[in-house]
Structure 1
Amino acid sequence: SEDVVVQSVRNLQIRYIAKKNSENQIVVVAIKLNVPSEYSLMKEDEYSYLSQRIKIMDRLYHFNHRIDGVLVEQSKSECMIFTTKKIIETETNQYKDFYLLDALREVSAVPVYIGIGYGKTANESKYNAYESMKKMERSRQNSVYIVFENGEVMGPLETGRGAKKQDSFDEKFYRAATETGLSVNTIYKIFGGIVKEEKADFTSRELAAICGVSVRTMDRIILKLCDAGYCEVISEKLMHKSGRPSRILRLHPLQIYNG
């Protein structure tokens, strides 16, 4: 009958509108930087921490632009990205490739926790995002958790390259100290100093000035760095009209900062 046809069309319209509303459902991505502890080497060097934060925020703003979201910085260590269900699921291929994790790994020595929340309202999505981030903090993995509006949890999600354990900033310095037989403070002074200088090639005299030691002491340190693969002699240069040429040394900070 005509009434049945009219009712069927109305039901179809309702289902279509519901589907469109679902696609435009607000999704919140919560990100938290694991601020170094009081006894961390990075905590003692504000420059290193701020440098890491700038690199991380650059990747976050790039991701935010890709998903046409709104990024809100809650504090120096926390921020949120507001987007829609359709956009983020399309951009990440239904979360099969959450490439933001890989992008952050490339630049960060600071652990970054990510949680995603769905909800019927923006507040509910925000709450679920923080709930999923708590799961991330407890697991301490380089992955992502999602909490949906019905309370269902998905995760941990792998990235396109596969998740792998990432050493913390301090662990990388301790590892380098073990491999070279040098103290952690010496390793930190050298590699922290070359990051501030924004170059990788030095003479032993320049490195001695950075570390506050004699050139003879630095020559012994350089020998240990070279043996462990953290340094190499790339050339020699005559610094004065007379005397022996100085070695030009290239250090490899990426072995520490990017693993």
Structure 2
Amino acid sequence: MTDRNHVEQIRIGIIGPKVIVDKMMKVIDTFPSFAPVPLAFEHEDEAPILAEQVSGDVEVLLLSDPLSHRKVKENTKLRMPVHHVPVTDAGLYKALFFAQGSGQLKTGISVDTLTELMVRRTLKDMDIMTLKSMIYDGPAYASIMNLTSFHETNYHSGKCSIAFTGMVSVANALTNKGIPNVWLLPSEQDIIVSLERALLSTTSRRNKEGQIVVGMINVDDFGTQALRRNNEHEVQKLKLDIHRMVLDYVESLDGYLTHMGGDEYLFFTTRGIFERETGGYKTIPLAKDVNKTHGISLSIGMGFGRTASAAGTSARIAMRKAKETGGNACFIVREDGNLIGPLEMADPVQDVLSSTDASLIKYAEDAGMTSAYLSKLLHQRARFGKYEYKVHELANLLDITVRSAHRLLLLWIDNHLVEISGLEKVPRGRPRQIFRFTFLHKK
């Protein structure tokens, strides 16, 4: 499995309020190419100082909001890509639900950072178009004082009963003045898009975009599948159908495919295209298509390398790993020999959880578990009936460090997703704790 401490990665500075930095750090676990350097501030004015502080240690910067991004650009002379996470209407949905549930949507709302179109669209989608809304239409990068004054004026005039702001400093100022407010936080999808944009802007990433990638595809237990067909004609038709689906998939990668005979295929593509088509090494849609159409699973090995020979060797090692796990898996071996995987062999979460009650998904995500982690845990439960893990097993499954696994377990224990179910004695050293995912065990 990939260990961030031993993989050659792109160092990225993550700067913002602690709440958003923590949220971004959870999302960045799904980006194995990044080694994050997080720095938190209490006020946007601190952003340029933190950017200068970390500039010699990172290749790209990602700021939490537009204002801190502008302050960094205006007050520093950094020669590296600097990005920010935009505040979108996705954050407004959650904020409005919160305000509605707490009875604060009385007379109207005042909103900054978002455009009038974003606000109107959100109110329409929530079927509360009758709610009065005052939207700040001043300069794009207004001062904290101006934004605070805008909300304060609307509140005291009786036009609005609650303010929505994209700036932590404005939210703090309004709270100090006793004005009800909600701080608009970026959604997980907003953060993912920003991280993808930051990744593609780095020199390291651009240098790897055209790197050759070798892939191997093997049909799991094809002999057994063939025996289930009534005659040789059906077997040959199955082979042609599989070949067509593999060919279509490789075509989507702008790759080159060759049939190695029997049940194995070899293909070539580039790293940039493969990363985009897999959503950053997350999912292999081909496996889902073949399984749904023919009830067949695939083992896939992907190899990265500085030469075609090295990439081919890595692909064979990755294929061996996929077979060792029982098939229906995809692994990647990077140019440094480190392993990434297993990738999801279907679309994330929604398809993996097709037979799972929606309340389970919501319960886990509300308690701080990302959909990607939930998908992997449910996949293991479905295949092996597993709901208990030692910390190193969980780290391997989620493709994170043991330290990160400890941090997540503490969070999930606090939110009643996990409990300590026992201890495993070891010949030397302290006993290892066994963690039970209680919400999986109950279902």
- Residue of structure 2 in register with 1:7 after alignment: none
C-alpha contact 1:56 1:107 (8 A) present in aligned 2: no
Question: Structure 1, residues 172-222: CA drift from partner, whole Å, max 9, x if none?
Answer: xxxxxxxxxxxxxxxxxxxxxxxxxxxxxxxxxxxxxxxxxxxxxxxxxxx
Residue of structure 1 in register with 2:246 after alignment: 60
Report how far residue 112 of structure 1 moved.
Answer: 2.2
**For the residues of structure 2 that align with 1:141 and 1:71, how far apart are their CA atoms?**
21
Counterpart in the other structure of 1:97? 283
Verify the 8 A CA contact 1:26 1:85 in the aligned structure 2: yes
Q: Is the 8 A contact 1:117 1:128 kept in 2?
A: yes
Q: What displacement does 1:40 show?
A: 6.8
RMSD: 2.9
Alignment TM-score, normalising by the size of structure 1: 0.52
Of 33-42 and 140-149, more deviation after overlay is shown by: 33-42
Match of residue 146 from structure 1: 332
Query: Contact 2:226–2:235 (CA<8 Å) still a contact in 1?
Result: no
User: CA shift at 1:54, angstroms?
Assistant: 1.4
What CA deviation, in whole Å up to 9, does each residue of 1:44-86 have, x standing for no partner? 8423322222111111111111110000111132111100000
Q: Corresponding residue for 1:115?
A: 301
Q: Aligned-pair distance for 1:33?
A: 2.2
Contact 1:61/1:71, CA 8 A, preserved across alignment? yes
Separation in 2 of the partners of 1:94 and 1:121? 22
Equivalent residues in 2 for 1:152-167, closer than 5 Å: 152-158=338-344, 159-160=346-347, 161-162=351-352
Match of 2:181 in 1: none
Give the SS at the match of 1:150.
coil
| 1:103 shift after superposition | 1.3
The match for 2:210 is: 24
2:120 maps to what in 1? none
Superposed CA offset, 1:100-150 (max 9, x none): 111111223444211111111111111111111111112124221111111
1:157 aligned counterpart, secondary structure: coil
Partner of 1:131: 317
CA contact 1:37–1:43 (8 Å) conserved in 2: no
Check the 8 A contact 2:247/2:257 in 1, yes or no. yes
Equivalent position amino acid for 1:127 in 2? T
Instruction: Describe the superposition over 1:220-239 as per-residue Cα deviations: whole angstroms up to 9, x where unpaired.
Output: xxxxxxxxxxxxxxxxxxxx
Gaps of 5+ in 2: 1-78, 81-201, 353-378, 384-443
Whole-Å Cα distance in 2 between the matches of residues 54 and 131 of structure 1? 27
TM-score scaled by structure 2? 0.31
1:127–1:45 CA distance, 2 compared to 1 (3 A): farther
Q: Quick one: structure 1 residues 21 and 102, their matched pair in 2 at CA, closer, same or farther if it must change by over 3 Å?
A: same
Provide the residue aligned with 1:171 in structure 2.
none
C-alpha distance in 2 between matches for 1:156 and 1:123 = 23
Paired position in structure 1 for 2:274: 88
CA contact (8 A) 2:322 2:331 kept: yes
Query: What is the distance in 1 between the residues matched to 2:318 and 2:282?
Result: 17
SS, match of residue 97 in structure 1? coil
Within 1, Cα distance between the matches of 2:224 and 2:280? 39
Instruction: Give the distance between the partners of 1:137 and 1:27, measured in 2 at CA.
Output: 20
Q: Which residue of 1 aligns with 2:44?
A: none
Pair 1:56–1:38, CA change in 2 (3 A):
closer
Q: 1:106 to 1:26 in 2, by over 3 A?
A: same
Q: How many residues align?
A: 153
Call closer, same or farther: CA 1:39–1:99 in 2, change over 3 Å.
closer
Shift of 1:96: 2.0
**2:341 aligned counterpart, secondary structure:** strand
* Off by >6 Å, runs of 4+ in structure 1: none
- Matches of 2:242 and 2:330, distance apart in 1: 16
**Conserved 8 A contact 2:301-2:316:** yes
Residue 259 of structure 2 corresponds to: 73
Residue identity opposite 1:138 in structure 2? E
* Unaligned runs of at least 5 residues, structure 1: 1-10, 166-259
Cα offset, 1:19, TM superposition: 4.4
- Say which structure, 1 or 2, has more relative contact order (CA 8 Å, 6+ apart): 1
- Deviation string 1:225-259 (CA, Å, 9 cap, x unpaired) is xxxxxxxxxxxxxxxxxxxxxxxxxxxxxxxxxxx
Query: 1:141, 1:38 → 2: CA distance?
Result: 14
Shift of 1:94: 0.5
Matches of 1:89 and 1:38, distance apart in 2: 33
For 1:69, the aligned partner's letter is G
